[in-house]
């Protein structure tokens, strides 16, 4: 992967993608009729939501792979994905209220998708806190993999439970109403921004993974040096 | 030794330890009582709202009292390296999980009886008309909550600030167990205006069983060195 598609190329691609995305969001996409300019945050909001969810799916699978095959790489992948996914999830929670206030008149409503995103955000926090609070780092991989798997089971349960909860609630208020005759230019902008944010997500994960690899090498070198030092 | 025998031994050990020092149970009951008391006093003015508020008050009290107990459950095993002893024993780690979970379930169950008794007196509500349903909800709700608490208690015992860590892990993941239990309890107390009481309990039971099985399967990785 690194030889065929080096990080530098990935970086350039992301940069171009972001520029195109900004052009499309602010100049190409038409203004929404009822909400006006505010609606343009929709492209960033939805584009952040997808990587945030995908992050936990990756954590789930790499946790299973770690517990099964014991590959260090799977554990590092889960850790880095959690960090990057947490940032995207935070972006969803920040852009959401900014849009909700002018569109709905309130900053926050406990509607299905908001609740889900908030619970996902709490899961990311729990996962990352566990990583940093562990006393014995040797057991970190195992314990975090267990939390990653139970956390993903919880995400699935959230998706079902949110429909059972107080079913008299109306279905989510117009979240941009993508099904109700979205302008083709809007749809194109949305698709591009989702793609660009996914590419950005993987770029951040790769940079962070490389850092994790360097750290691991460094600690191995330190071990060897300390061992040699003790022999002298 | 058969697995049932091992589970029974661990359960009896926990109950015996608890019988001798009475620390966990006493703190859970007192803490639960305090929460019910505080809410009762705070909601004094809203008499007519009692049936709407009471389920939330009770389950929040159960949630907090439970966390107290789960913290002790594995923290006490770390003193004198008891956990290492248990891990070294030639038994299936899952049986340790079941034993500890049953002990937590019993402790939390006893604390629940105390809290419900206090709520009956202070909120002036009778639980008897819907007792059967409430027992089912309490059993399944507590089962899932205790299963998660047991595995997270074991995980949090490895961390600094383990009380905080357990809470941060437990509440988001046990969220729906609590919320759906509150919902079903409220329905049962109001005499099921929407009918179909079995559906609510089935949902609580379903989620609890899923989490219990997941915790049971994953517990061996928590103990692994």
Residue B152 has pLDDT above 60, yes or no: yes
Which residues of chain A lie closer than 8 angstroms to B225, CB-CB?
Answer: 138-139
pLDDT tens sequence across B21-38: 888 899 999 999 999 999
- The complex's ipTM works out to 0.89
Which residues of chain A lie closer than 8 angstroms to B151, CB-CB?
Answer: 146, 150
* Domains identified in chain B, total number: 1
Asked if B165 and A133 come within 8 Å (Cβ–Cβ), the reply is yes
Which residue has 């590959």 as its token pair?
A71
Taking the Cβ of residue B139 and every Cβ of chain A, the question of whether any pair is shorter than 8 Å is answered with no
Residues 6+ apart with CB under 8 A from B224: A139, A142, B93
Residues 6+ apart with CB under 8 A from A13: A199
For residue B191, give how far its alpha carbon lies from the nearest alpha carbon of chain A (Å). 17
Asked if A130 and B175 come within 8 Å (Cβ–Cβ), the reply is no
* HSE, side-chain direction, 13 A CA sphere, residue A74: 17
Task: Please report, for residues A28, A59, A87, A184, B104, the alpha-carbon distance to residue A197 in angstroms, rounded to integers and kept in the order given.
Answer: 18, 18, 12, 20, 45
Asked if A143 and B173 come within 8 Å (Cβ–Cβ), the reply is no
Which residues of chain A lie closer than 8 angstroms to B173, CB-CB?
Answer: 123, 126, 150-151, 154
pLDDT tens sequence across B78-129: 877 888 888 888 888 889 999 999 999 999 999 999 999 999 888 888 888 8
Query: What ranges in chain B are assigned the alpha helix state H?
Result: 3-21, 23-42, 50-78, 82-88, 93-123, 131-156, 162-173, 175-189, 197-223
Which residues of chain B lie closer than 8 angstroms to A138, CB-CB?
Answer: 225
pLDDT at B46: 66
For residues B123 and B48, the answer to whether their CB atoms sit within 8 Å is no
Boundaries of domain holding B85: 3-223
Q: Which residue of B has its CA nearest to A122?
A: B172
* Mutation target among B153, B162, B221 for the A interface, most CBs of A within 10 A: B221
Q: How many inter-chain contacts (A to B, CB under 8 Å) are there? A: 83
Asked if A149 and B161 come within 8 Å (Cβ–Cβ), the reply is no
Which residue stretches of chain A have pLDDT < 50?
167-178
pLDDT at B195: 65
pLDDT at A172: 43
pLDDT tens sequence across B179-215: 999 988 988 888 776 667 788 889 899 999 999 999 9
Instruction: Assign B144 to helix, strand or coil.
Output: helix
Looking at residue A109, the DSSP 8-state letter turns out to be: -
pLDDT at B66: 94
Taking the Cβ of residue A115 and every Cβ of chain B, the question of whether any pair is shorter than 8 Å is answered with no
Task: Please report, for residues B53, B67, B183, the alpha-carbon distance to residue B48 in angstroms, rounded to integers and kept in the order given.
Answer: 10, 31, 18
Asked if B169 and A130 come within 8 Å (Cβ–Cβ), the reply is yes
pLDDT at B107: 94
Asked if A150 and B173 come within 8 Å (Cβ–Cβ), the reply is yes
* HSE, side-chain direction, 13 A CA sphere, residue A225: 6
Which residues of chain B lie closer than 8 angstroms to A154, CB-CB?
Answer: 172-173, 175-176
Start-to-end Cα distance in chain A: 42
pLDDT at B196: 72
Taking the Cβ of residue B112 and every Cβ of chain A, the question of whether any pair is shorter than 8 Å is answered with no
In percent, how much of chain B has pLDDT > 90? 53
Which residues of chain A lie closer than 8 angstroms to B171, CB-CB?
Answer: 122
The mean of the pLDDT values for chain B is: 89
Which residues of chain B lie closer than 8 angstroms to A150, CB-CB?
Answer: 148, 151, 173, 211, 214-215, 218
Q: Which of residues 66-95 of A touch B (CB under 8 A)?
A: 67
């Amino acid at each position: 992967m690194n030889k065929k598609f080096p990080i530098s190329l990935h970086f350039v691609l992301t940069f171009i993608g972001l520029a195109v995305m900004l052009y499309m969001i602010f100049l190409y996409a038409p203004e929404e009729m009822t909400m006006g300019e505010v609606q343009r945050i929709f492209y960033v909001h939805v584009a952040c939501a997808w990587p945030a969810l995908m992050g936990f799916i990756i954590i789930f699978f790499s946790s299973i792979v770690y517990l099964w095959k014991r590959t260090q790489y799977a554990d590092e992948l889960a850790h880095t994905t959690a960090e990057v996914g947490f940032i995207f999830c935070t972006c969803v929670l920040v852009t959401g209220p900014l849009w909700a206030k002018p569109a709905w008149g309130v900053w926050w409503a406990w509607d299905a998708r908001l609740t889900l995103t908030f619970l996902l955000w709490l899961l990311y926090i729990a996962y990352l806190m566990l990583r940093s609070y562990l006393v014995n780092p040797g057991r970190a991989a195992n314990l975090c993999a267990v939390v990653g798997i139970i956390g993903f089971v919880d995400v699935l349960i959230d998706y079902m439970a949110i429909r059972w909860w107080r079913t008299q609630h109306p279905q989510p208020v117009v979240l941009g109403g993508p099904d109700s005759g979205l302008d083709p230019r809007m749809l194109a902008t949305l698709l591009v921004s989702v793609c660009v944010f996914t590419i950005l997500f993987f770029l951040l994960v790769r940079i962070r993974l490389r850092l994790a690899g360097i750290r691991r090498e460094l600690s191995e070198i330190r071990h060897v040096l300390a061992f040699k030092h003790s022999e002298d | 030794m058969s697995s049932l025998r091992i589970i029974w031994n661990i359960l009896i050990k926990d109950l015996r330890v608890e019988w001798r020092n009475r620390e966990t149970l006493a703190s859970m009951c007192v803490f639960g009582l305090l929460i019910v008391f505080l809410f009762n006093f705070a909601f004094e003015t809203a008499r007519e709202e009692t049936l709407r508020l009471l389920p939330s008050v009770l389950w929040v009290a159960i949630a907090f009292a439970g966390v107290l107990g789960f913290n002790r459950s594995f923290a006490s095993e770390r003193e004198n390296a008891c956990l290492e002893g248990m891990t070294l024993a030639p038994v299936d780690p899952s049986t340790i999980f079941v034993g500890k979970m049953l002990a937590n379930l019993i402790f939390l169950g006893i604390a629940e009886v105390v809290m419900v008794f206090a709520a009956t007196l202070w909120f002036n509500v009778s639980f008897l008309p819907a007792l059967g349903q409430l027992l089912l909800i309490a059993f399944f709700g507590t089962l899932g909550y205790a299963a998660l608490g047991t595995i997270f208690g074991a995980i949090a015992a490895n961390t600094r600030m383990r009380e905080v860590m357990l809470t941060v892990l437990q509440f988001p993941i046990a969220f729906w167990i609590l919320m759906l239990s509150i919902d079903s309890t409220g329905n049962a107390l109001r005499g099921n205006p929407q009918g179909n009481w079995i559906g609510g309990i089935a949902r609580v039971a379903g989620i609890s069983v899923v989490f219990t099985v997941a915790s049971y399967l994953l517990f061996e990785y928590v103990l692994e060195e």
